[in-house]
Structure 1
Amino acid sequence: MTKHQTQLTSSEIASIWTGYMNDSMSKCILSYFLKQIEDEDIRPVIQFAYDISFTHLEKLTNIFQQEKLPIPTAFTMGHDVNLNAPRLFTDSFMLTYINHMAKAGMLAYSG
């Protein structure tokens, strides 16, 4: 049996590119949330969401490298988020945001 490696299709590349951009945005926002959170009971939820985004980014980066595709220019802390900005969101909003993003992520990754 011969070994044959099939290249990704354009729709597959678009999916991993979109996932990479979404997770880079989430990582930035969740970093800000972790810095601003007041209710320590909520911190593990935000940390868990951050860890998921971080893991996804590592896996997607590996796929881009294996396929010899350029890694997208993503959202970054240095250019897109000011971690020292004053508190903009309530802890309740942070939980609601994570809930909605989890639902959107389930839809996106199931595709």
Structure 2
Amino acid sequence: MPTHPTAPESLPQYLAEGVPKQDDEDLHALQDWIDDLLEYRQDIAAEDIDASEGESIEAVEESSSGTVVIKKVSCGKDNCKCQSGELHGPYKYVVRRQGNSLNWDYKGPVSE
């Protein structure tokens, strides 16, 4: 006989107690909404990615963990080569939505 699944420890108590009380129809609706929310957070269109001053977007690709952005950047030091346009990088970032803003998670340099 299957055992009742336990909620993740990180889940707030009000959800861990409230979600199992829902009927099957509401659970399926909740699952669909969660899937849509995850897709919204991970699926960021290339036109949503803006380069700041001193940055150059090299590539934007979708992945299962979010949108992968490859960019070159300026370090901001006055005497650096990047001040004349020779930017540092490229560097890899995974970008996801967090509320109404984008969260850039640095993943390291990319070998060309």
Band the TM-score falls in, shorter-chain normalisation? under 0.3
Q: Relative contact order (C-alpha < 8 Å, sep 6+): which is higher?
A: 1
Larger Rg: 2
* TM score, norm. by length of structure 2: 0.26
Structure with a larger share of its residues in helix:
1
